[in-house]
Amino acid sequence: MTVLLDLLSWVALLLGSFFLIVGSVGLLRFPDFFTRMHAAGVTDSLGAGLILFGLMFQVDGQWIVLFKLLSILFFIWLTSPASSHALAKAALHHNQQPLLGDEVRNRKQAANE
């Protein structure tokens, strides 16, 4: 039983870590605000979720810890999309336009030259 739980933890934590790093790389490398936002979303939903799930397999009978982990997860999943939504809306209102198609390529070329 413990071995199975440990295995599940391993998988969840590693996958979560992977998504975290992928999301962060995206946050750093993507060309404009809206694509970065997309990358950030990966961190908040999948990364956080998987890591917290991984921890939940390790609570070892302390139900209060499980409850706290669950409430953190609930909290993140509730607030993170809400604030992303508000942020995107504010950005749009303030004339932040997403880069489309050719613009991305043009900008990249400009950066390379």
Partner 1 sequence: MTIEFLVDIVLLGLLALTAIAIHKTRDLFASIMLTGIYSLLSALFFIVMDAVDVAFTEAAVGAGISTLLMLSCMPLVKKQEQPSRHHRPLGLVVVTLTGALLIYGTMDMPPFGSVDDPIQQHVAPRYLHQSMDEVGLPNVVTSVLASYRGFDTFGETVVILTAGIGVLALLGFRRSRAQEMQHRVPAMQQHMILRIISKLLIPPILIFAFYVQFHGDFGPGGGFQAGAIFAAAIILYTMLFGLSTARQVFRERYIHLLAAVGVLIYGAVGIASMLAGKNFLDYDALAANPLTGQHVGILLVELGVGITVAAVMIIIFYTFSGRLDKDDHKEPES
Partner 2 sequence: MGISMFSVTTVAILVSMILAITRAFLGPSLYDRVLAINVLGTKTVLLIAVLGFLMGRPEFLDIALLYALINFISIIGLMRFFEYSSSRQEEK
Binding segment toward partner 1, per CB under 8 A, in 21-29, 31-39, 48-56, 79-87: 79-87
Q: Counting contacts by CB under 8 A, is residue 62 touching partner 1?
A: no
Please report, for residues 28, 90, 102, the alpha-carbon distance to residue 107 in angstroms, rounded to integers and kept in the order given.
16, 24, 8
Q: Counting contacts by CB under 8 A, is residue 28 touching partner 1?
A: no
Q: 3-class DSSP state for residue 29?
A: helix
Q: Counting contacts by CB under 8 A, is residue 85 touching partner 1?
A: yes
Q: Smallest Cα–Cα separation from 85: which of 23, 24, 18, 38?
A: 38
By CB under 8 A, name the binding residues for partner 1: 71, 75, 78-79, 82-83, 85-86, 89, 93
